[in-house]
Structure 1
Amino acid sequence: MVLRIILLTLLLILLILLFAPLCVRLAFDDGDFRWSARYLFLRKSSGAPKHAQHPPEHPEHQKEPAPVKQTAAPTDKPPRTPAADAGKPGQEAAAPEASGKEQEPVQEESAQAETEKKSGGFLSKYKPQSLSEWVELILNLLHAAGRPLRWLLRRITIRDIDLDFIVSHPDAAVCAVRFGKVNIAVYNTLALLCQFFRVRKKQIRIRCIYNQPCGSYRGSCQVRVCPAVILGAAIGLAVRFLYLQHKSNSGA
């Protein structure tokens, strides 16, 4: 009975961790971008302002310059030359040993490479060895990422989209042209996002005001996704990729 309670408690905690939504809030106000993330009781947000400056150090706390080390005076002994050391017996014995170390057999390297391939485990046979195999691996990865990526994107929700744009310019004609461009950009972007994500709009206001030097652009939204969705997409990608790699290797 106690074991069942422990298992059910662990299962409940695991379900809460997997299906609790991860919320990321994005906001911008005339070039000032801010973000904040929340997952259960964990919170993280954009910190200090961009142009924060550190106060200058007090001159009393500055480090003192390190003392200059005195170099030793040069000696009057002449430098040693190779001709002077030619008569020593240890030099002749060291030369053949160095040449022997430089000439290593190629067969030992090939045998070592074969043993490394055999000891690589299950994934060693999927490791590409040539450029064509690398290209095939990348193509299989892209092909395998199609369905899991679409499945992941369709379960990401972008909600509470709130846009407040004021387009202005001293010239009325220029302001009208900018107003049209901003409308085209905003609604085309929303239509593109609706093709991949779940989009929920809260408020979109785009106004055109003449006789003002500059406008203002403010907006915010919230992105929500569950960790279980990310985990499921990663597992699906791994399974499809290993299947395609096994199929290509068995066909070769």
Structure 2
Amino acid sequence: MSKRHVRKMLRQMASGEPVQVTSAMASMKKLAQLGFFAQQFGYEYADVKQGGGPQGNGFVMLIVPDPSPQARARAAQNWAQYPNAGDGAALPPLETDAVELLKARIKFDLAARYTEKQLMVLAGVGFAVSAMGLGFELGADTTAVVIAGIIWAVLMALVPVGFVVNRRYKAKYAAALRAAGFTPVPDQSGRLRYVPPGGQLPGHGNPFAGGAYAPPPAPSGPPAAGPYTAPQPYPPQNPRSHPPQS
């Protein structure tokens, strides 16, 4: 992960709005590292989905402003210590344990994004389209149709194996998150998520849906001292010294 990616993300965070971070190379480690830096400067991880990058084989991570007093104080401290982080200068050091926990959350959320019933439907439709495409390539005769049907049936027979692997995958990361004090919480759709100790699910509904994000109530009391003031998690910039990017 380069400082260029962090700089781009921090500049997007200047809006104080939810930000979608894309990993074109399908690297969860890179997303977890970016999420860690977002947490250091006033944002929090909200969710992840597949489909990033030009080929659609990457991931998209959603980060949202964190109005909690702890996050505001941390952001103020880090902007004071690393005032030029948004320009590609020094950044807070990566904390391996924090990055690994964030990666576990990302992996669990990906594995739990759909129920097994939904996955069965998606697999059935996807395999049917692939089988039909193969049938058209082989020709429109009866033999080609039969071959395509056999291929579809074989692929569907493998779906239960995928379910077993997915369950083990989720169990592994759920155990790691529970051991770190994370709490399982169902969202409004019933999908199970894990939140850190004392935390809550950011927003409501599907956070990727337009207009679905609603931040939690702002904390009472005065804002933390320093350059960070909610809801702006990015310190004020001098427009003459920091021209906007094209």
TM range (shorter): under 0.3
TM-score normalized by the length of structure 1: 0.24
Larger relative CO (CA 8 A, sep 6+): 1 or 2? 1
Which protein is bigger by CA-based radius of gyration?
A: 1
TM-score normalized by the length of structure 2: 0.24
The answer to which structure has the higher strand fraction is 1
